[in-house]
Chains A and B, each alone.
Chain A
Amino acid sequence: MSLVRIPIKDKMGSVEKLDELRVGLTQIPNIDGKRLRVHNQLTLQGHYYQITDFSIEVDQSVEKEVRDVVRKADFEFRGTPLLDLPGTREAVESMVKQHAKENRETQLKYAVWFRLEDPHAIHLLEIEEGAFDPGDGSLQGIAMAAGSTVPEARKIVIYLASPQEFRKALVVNPDHAAVQAVREHSEKAILVYPSESEENWRQLLAEFGIQDLRA
């Protein structure tokens, strides 16, 4: 499982707020072993701390939970999630449509956009018939420069997987962010291809034997 770094804006904060953040982080389920590291510089100014160079490193699998705690403690992230920027969603849909058209030896079945909080990169799980299956369910992603394909994005990370690899990942790689996103799709992911709809999600979940937690 790869580490993510979550950059947080400089802030003048009280001791109580800092403590709220600390307690919130330690209360995240199974946070032990998730390689949580908090980096910052604290300067005491009266009853407040000036917090600078602030970031949190943690396993990708609990990124969303950590971001929720950071938000609750009234801290803000450096960088707006790409999803919230105008035109991003349409650009991602257009790119995926192109992917669906362009291959002869592979055939796109599903494209899932996950790690929606990322302000710099689009993370796409693309399940394609005919994709190479390394046999280990590793679901490795390969980054490409975004260029002008998706405005404001620096990178597009494609996790190209055959249906067999994704099926194996569900069993052997449950902490992978893509696996978690599909399992908890309503909050963590957008089904870009065929399209975001209840029916298409149901089809994907049924095909891979995933219980629909919302049912």
Chain B
Amino acid sequence: MNAHERTELAMHTLYQGLADLLGARAYLDGQVSLTFSTPLGRLELAHMAVSKSHQSVEKVLKGYLVFHGQSINPFRGHDPLTRVMNGEGGNASFLLKFRTTMRQSSGGIIHRLLSMEQMAPNPPPVQDLDQIELTDLPINTEYPFWDNAAGYLTSPAIHFKRADAFNAIRVTISLCEILAGEDDDDYTQGLRRFLETFPLD
């Protein structure tokens, strides 16, 4: 892949990520009226907003890293921030600066983003259903999981509520604002135009 193709891939990844953020807001927009009561609890769409927010974070970050020439494969994994913060990609000056920017960002956003990355669905460590312990099922936005705090099995559509969706969307927008404040290039300009076009109230 040459430099031009890499830039094109990065920008497409960014715009797909921004579309995910619009999707998150759209799901929240309909949440109030679209609910369904079941014997296990009330199904809502807040988890969709959390899920789309996470996908937005993932793509915006991957695009950013690809745009800046990093050897991150955007088609692999759902946790680019966790991987980069854990040292993946080495100690190129761009990555050192990126890690510093993320660590120094206000509001504890780094912890929120890392937590969001853990929400991606991963298969349980064992394949045989009989061997799966319900307590091993980690929190995610797509499949049933064990709620450690409550001590029971639940599902994303029942567990995630309005405030979770709001938090996820605001964390995603905060990430976009942080990256948009970096160098002035096509990537940051794309982010800025989006933030200006779709401001929060």
Contact = CB atoms under 8 A, between A and B. Distances in A.
B163 interface: yes
B139 to A, nearest CB: 11
B106 A141 contact: no
B112 interface: yes
A149 B164 CA distance: 20
Interface string A151-167: 00000111110000000
Contact of A142 (B28, B33, B174): B28
A142 B32 contact: no
B32 A156 contact: yes
Contact of B29 (A102, A131, A143, A148): A143
Given A2-B199, A142-B200, A134 B109 contact: yes
B34 to A, nearest CB: 8
Nearest to B150: A104
26 contacts: A99-B163, A103-B163, A104-B150, A131-B163, A131-B166, A134-B106, A134-B109, A134-B170, A135-B106, A140-B199, A142-B25, A142-B166, A142-B169, A143-B201, A144-B31, A144-B32, A145-B29, A145-B33, A146-B32, A146-B33, A149-B32, A149-B33, A156-B32, A158-B162, A158-B166, A159-B201
A141 B162 contact: no
A38 to B, nearest CB: 23
A160 B163 contact: yes
Interface of B: 25, 28-34, 105-109, 112, 149-150, 161-164, 166-167, 169-171, 173-174, 199-201
Contacts of A134: 106-107, 109, 170, 174
Contacts of A148: 33
A184 B164 CA distance: 30
A80 to B, nearest CB: 21
A106 B168 CA distance: 13
A198 interface: no
Contacts of A104: 149-150, 161
Nearest to A121: B201
Interface of A: 2, 99, 102-106, 123, 128, 130-136, 140-149, 156-160
A138 to B, nearest CB: 8
A177 B164 CA distance: 24
Contacts of B164: 103, 105-106
A158 B163 CA distance: 10
B109 to A, nearest CB: 7
Contacts of B171: 132
Contact of B167 (A132, A141, A143, A149): A132
A145 B30 CA distance: 6
B28 to A, nearest CB: 6
A212 B67 CA distance: 52
Nearest to B30: A145
Nearest to A148: B33
Given A131-B167, A132-B167, A144 B29 contact: yes
A136 B166 CA distance: 16
A150 B7 CA distance: 47
A96 to B, nearest CB: 11
Contacts of B108: 133, 135
A146 B29 CA distance: 8
B19 to A, nearest CB: 17
A130 B161 CA distance: 13
